[in-house]
Structure 1
Amino acid sequence: MTNNAFIALDFETANYKRTSICSVGMVKIVNHQLTESFHTLVNPNDFFSERNIQVHGIQQRDVLHAPAFNEVLPYMLDFIIDLPVVAHNAAFDMSVLHASLKAAHFDTPDLTYFCSCQLARRTVSSHRYGLKHMMDFYGLDFRGHHDALNDAKACAMITYRLLKHYPDLQTVLNVYGKKLRDKDAL
């Protein structure tokens, strides 16, 4: 694992099912620099709820020719390599990943993750800790909330600022890191 390197990840789903990924966004941070990004729409082969459409604006017609999760996963894993993954509200994103892996009959990869929302709660004093609220807390520009790539970038910016309160990323992982195989990921 490269020091000071991590992947910020965000999923959007088509409906209430954890297996209905319709968009994934990831950014790679190496030595405090955003070095790469990954984004794709995903065809969940499932229905889109009005509520979810209102949140992210993605509709069935947008994903008709998009790859299915089982086609996207190898590219995701190649992007992640062996780096730790951070998500804002990781309980949601990791449960989406775990459920989608199981539904597609993939083995669960050996993946370490942590939650930028939980890290924020333990590190800084704010009235609210949601993604938009933390962007406001740090005075960062935030456009395109609930766009998977924009949310991944926002998570990375928040995480970068939170990590300044700790000696290094490994210290955070030693305290807050979890394995995707953990029961907490379900």
Structure 2
Amino acid sequence: MPVDFTAIDFETANPSSASACSIGLVKVRDGAVVDRLHRYIRPPFPHDEFSEWNVRVHGITRDMVADAADWAALLPVFRDFAGGDVLVAHNAGFDLRVIEQTTAAFELEVPNHRSLCSLQVARKTYHLESYRLPVAAMAAGFEDFSHHDALADAEACAAIMVHAARRHDVDDLDRLAHVTRVSFGAIGRTAVTERAAAHGPMALQ
């Protein structure tokens, strides 16, 4: 299986994981970027306050998303773009929680995906003083991007994973996870299935 995945990055309006206000998606096929998508998102009440700190970080304001679609409207777009791909993100736990919590805020079914964290992969691939996205991306040869722009961050994340696969001389994410000893995460029914498989039949009794 070639190096195929969808890289993802969210920005949030405030500390709530249900306050997604921007999403960037980058589709990778056989180690090359083949598609990109960026959307602003109108966060749901009561998660729609824009904190001063978050605005300072990403520059997105309430006015900028006032006419944007909410996550309920964008979820089908996300599903269509990502398909059945492994989702890759830098500090993937954050982005997976955003998907789970923002979806739950609309009482919708969480999409089913495995995930792999580029932050953890970077730690097993490079020798750096910091593994923050801009530093790890620079090690992968991806420089001068707008950090905290969701699409640019997703592209940086994709570059790290593609470069890491080449550096470890592997041709798919399963082998990359194996050689770096980084575990896959999961959301939706995939997470339930993988937890059941990990704990065996006794876990279901």
Q: TM-score, normalised by structure 1?
A: 0.92
Q: CA–CA distance in 2 between the matches of 1:178 and 1:136? A: 25
Report the CA distance between 1:173 and its aligned residue: 4.7
1:178 to 182, 185, 190: 185
Q: How does 1:97-136 map to 2 (within 5 A)?
A: 97-136=99-138
CA contact 2:2–2:31 (8 Å) conserved in 1: no
Q: CA–CA distance in 1 between the matches of 2:108 and 2:7? A: 22
- Deviations 1:81-121, CA, capped at 9 Å, x for gaps: 01111000101111111111211111222201010000111
* Number of residue pairs the alignment of both structures matches: 182
SS at 2:56 equivalent: helix
* Structural RMSD (CA): 1.6
Note if 1:58 corresponds to 2:60: yes
Q: CA–CA distance in 2 between the matches of 1:110 and 1:44? A: 22
Q: 1:133 to 1:19 in 2, by over 3 A?
A: same
Gaps of 5+ in 1: none
Which amino acid letter does the alignment assign opposite residue 175 of structure 2? T
Paired-residue identity, %: 35
Q: Which residue of 1 aligns with 2:29?
A: 30
Which amino acid letter does the alignment assign opposite residue 54 of structure 1? R
- Deviations 1:145-166, CA, capped at 9 Å, x for gaps: 1000000001011111111114
Q: CA–CA distance in 2 between the matches of 1:105 and 1:10? A: 22
Report the CA distance between 1:11 and its aligned residue: 0.1
Report the CA distance between 1:52 and its aligned residue: 0.4
SS at 1:123 equivalent: coil
Larger radius of gyration: 2
Q: CA–CA distance in 2 between the matches of 1:65 and 1:56? A: 18
Q: 1:72 to 1:172 in 2, by over 3 A?
A: same
Q: TM-score, normalised by structure 2?
A: 0.84
Q: Select between 156-165 and 10-19 the one with higher mean Cα deviation.
A: 156-165
